[in-house]
Amino acid sequence: MSEHKLQVVPLGGLGEFGMNMTAFCFGDDIIVVDSGMMFPDSDLLGVDLVMPDLTFLKERQSSVRALILTHGHEDHIGAVPYFLTDIDVPVYGTDFTLALVDRRLEEYRLEVKPRFVHVKPKQVVEIGPFKVEFIHVTHSIVSAVALAITTPLGVIIHTGDFKVDPTPTDNELFDLHTLADYGKRGVLLLLSDSTNADRPGYTESERAVRPRIEEIFNRAEGRVVVSCFSSSIHRIQLVLDLAKEYGRRVAVIGRSMVSVTEIAHSLGLLEIPDDILLRPQDAMGLEPSKVAILISGTQGEPMSALSRVAVDNHKHISVEKGDTVVLSSRIIPGNEKAIFRMIDHMAKRGADVMYGTMNPPLHVSGHSSVEEMKLVLNLVRPKYFMPIHGEFRQLSKHAKLAEHLRYAGLLDSFVMESGEVLEIDARGARKAGKVTVGHVCIDSGSLDDVVQDVVIRDRRHLSEDGIVLPIIAINRSTGRVESLPEIVSRGFAAAEDGSEFMQAARQVVARTLEGSNQEEKTDWGVMKEKIRADLKRYISKETSRRPLIMPVILEL
């Protein structure tokens, strides 16, 4: 076996939140775990989502054997449609995870029908030299699994996202016994979720949310409007159960909320009490104290159902004085402005909006805190450890948590970044270079979904400094400029028609035209570049601004 090498290649999700994707390579065989996306930063203007660069996998397409999914959150399945467009392989996952993927694929036209392989916890599948066992874990979404990947060099444990919930609402406990069993037999490498590595103690159980939500149902006199992540089936079940208990009927609002509840109900993961559902168009006609609303849009997304309700622009639902609005979710960093603006709109109309940290809580994390991370480390006792899922500070803290295992067989921890290769062979483990990784920006409304860097750069440029259009009319037969060039601008403060600055700018363009020889004047590409360069120099000198300059030449 000494000539055989096992390579672990994180293609996203390390040093960042989202875009989780890891390739495991042995000989000529590759399996890929997860294919996620992340939401764009504010500087990625007009971009809908960001996914990992698949160059590494495309170059080795014939070696890729399978895509294995740990659970159905967007940061783990969001890029699957783009993955399958380029790489046609079987996709392994639990029923609920694959149902969510299938729903996403309806929006895309794949040339080849996806090959789904449905698996259950404790099931073992063989894929080339890899043997993969699926291990049930507790998380904020149902049907989440960890993976035990047996390779010719040893066992790799990939936890996926998890928390150790001792009292899950569906009574499906984290399968710690199987993890411990692998730990006793010996684990080569552990890859473990680092999201909450800077949060001490234990993450609260999902059941901790019930007292607060129950109190709201108990005292609310008007409608109760609850917004949570549509994938939080446990939270949706809680709202349905409390609505039944307190004599309210429930309207389910928002495309993702409706779709996911239908999927979960069809798979037996969500119990909907008889006669409790209410058509959205009937919700405002009932007495407010008899209505509860489940609605998507916790993050203030501009066209989400809750955002439209907030500005009174939803066709069926509005928020009135006396209503209670509950945001049962965390605020994802970067979304604060949009969320608080939405809250302000509803507060102005007299609604009581409940959000943020409370005790008892409105929301609990789906990720393990420090003590749970230590528990998994102690059960697995790996030879090598590689923290995954999180920014560098979380990965680093998680690696430090494993230091005590140095006395129990841990040889090394590797704090990696996306693109770095961890190589393991009979002689040990080491970092072994980098592969091509990066962010691919997707604008789903464009003709070509992938947004090039130059497009992002131009959008940023326009947002900061505006645009200036010098318009030059040239006589086709004589080649002469018919009149003084016009200049049109947008988003450029210094530019007012008739201003001294604008007149001087027109003269700059005129001088460029006059100073050009006849050959240059017949090559409009050259003329545009000359006009752009001279006008850019003048505007920068006068205003220290750098608008996007696009000369337009009209033939007369």
- The β-bridge partners of 333 are none
From residue 372, give the alpha-carbon distance in Å to each of 201, 246, 342. 8, 36, 35
CA atoms of 248 and 271, how far apart (whole Å): 16
Place of tokens 């590595």: 197
Q: Is the peptide bond before 360 cis (omega within 30 degrees of 0)?
A: yes
Maximum distance among all Cα pairs of the chain, rounded to whole angstroms: 89
| Six token digits for residue 279 | 């058509």
From residue 50, give the alpha-carbon distance in Å to each of 82, 85, 392, 434. 11, 16, 19, 21
Could you count the other beta carbons within 10 Å of the beta carbon of residue 411? 12
Instruction: Select which of 71, 73, 314, 367 is catalytic.
Output: 367
Helices (H), 412-489: 453-465
Work out whether the CA dihedral 25, 81, 54, 28 comes out positive or negative: positive
Instruction: Select which of 165, 175, 193, 449 is catalytic.
Output: 193
From residue 21, give the alpha-carbon distance in Å to each of 116, 128, 345, 399. 18, 20, 38, 20
Q: Is 345 a residue of the active site?
A: no
CA atoms of 242 and 61, how far apart (whole Å): 50
Integer-rounded Cα radius of gyration of the chain:
29
Q: Is 398 a residue of the active site?
A: no
Q: What interhelical angle do 500-514 and 524-543 show, nearest 10?
A: 150
Which residues are catalytically annotated?
Answer: 193, 367
